[in-house]
Amino acid sequence: MTKKLNYDQHLVSLPWSDYELLDSGDSMKLERFGAIVVARPETQALWRKERPELWESAHATFAFHDKKGAWDSKKPVPESWELSSHNVRFTAALTGFKHTGVFPEQAPNWEWSKTQIEKIEKPNVLNLFGYTGIASLVAARAGAFITHVDASKQSLDWARANALLSNIPEDKIRWILDDALAFAKREARRGALYDGIILDPPAFGRGAKGEVWKIEEDLPVLLETLKALLSDKPGSFFLVNGYAAGYAPRSFAQALESVFGDVQGECGELHIQEAQSKRVIPAGIYVRFVR
């Protein structure tokens, strides 16, 4: 039987003990990260707020002043604070790009990768554009050896600190400060193989040595390179997330199919569900498959 991707399989991230989407609307979202409540812009939230009384509880709101974004704090917020999920610990912080270092919509993918890793003997996993490393921590905890790659030293340092906080043994993760495409090409020349590949490519970025990443030009090249890196071991897996505005799940899915051929997997949107309703915020796209 021909393998195929199942389209429009949306993943929903539900609240957990250290995270809740409390409310959304009027192009904003209100979230609780541990004990800290933050309000941030959200272009998808075209609807009205359902629980306006909750918004006064925000410790900080990300707002734009003279076209520059910054956090306005109403209550004291630590420089960073601890959270946990999937048996790992990590820190959140208010960054200058409105992010907190945690992407809750990825929780279903953390669980999926954990499940795949537990089926593979001595799995070797590559995480490109690894950011603050939660996917790497979950994978390492599940039994994989991780190669974590990011072009930002600040993000890499944050990820390493998260690994220490989670008591991940030092020999479980290899930390690489490098451009994702440059690193993948070198690994392909070396004949390296990985039993799982996770990547979260931005629309635009710069590598550790000033390399320019443009998703419309470089993603097809990266996918071709990663095809050579993905092992043929039964159960080997591939997971790509997307946040680039304007791209639909099928765009990413068909890009993968054009490189990897017929694969068994799924693609769709990543959703975050509000704690007290069934409303969701579309928060990205994904494609994943297993060999």
Q: What pLDDT is stored for residue 1 in this prediction?
A: 52
Between CA 17 and CA 289 the distance in angstroms is 29
Is 182 among the domain residues? yes
Is 56 among the domain residues? no
pLDDT bracket for residue 245 (50, 70, 90) = low
Is 145 among the domain residues? yes
Q: Tell me the average pLDDT across 81-94.
A: 98
pLDDT, tens only, 200-240: 998 888 877 788 888 899 999 999 999 999 999 999 999 99
Is 38 among the domain residues? no
pLDDT at residue 193 tops 90: yes
Between CA 226 and CA 211 the distance in angstroms is 19
Q: What pLDDT is stored for residue 204 in this prediction?
A: 83
Q: What pLDDT is stored for residue 2 in this prediction?
A: 63
Q: Which CATH number characterizes residue 137's domain?
A: 3.40.50.150
Is 85 among the domain residues? no
Q: What pLDDT is stored for residue 28 in this prediction?
A: 98
pLDDT, tens only, 263-286: 999 999 999 999 999 999 999 999
Enclosing domain of residue 190 = 5-13+100-290
Is 76 among the domain residues? no
Q: What pLDDT is stored for residue 3 in this prediction?
A: 72
Q: What pLDDT is stored for residue 242 in this prediction?
A: 92
Q: How far is CA 265 from the centre of its chain?
A: 18
Lowest-confidence pick of 18-32, 45-59, 235-249, 255-269: 235-249
The per-residue pLDDT of the chain, averaged, comes to: 95
Q: Domain count for the chain, please give it.
A: 1
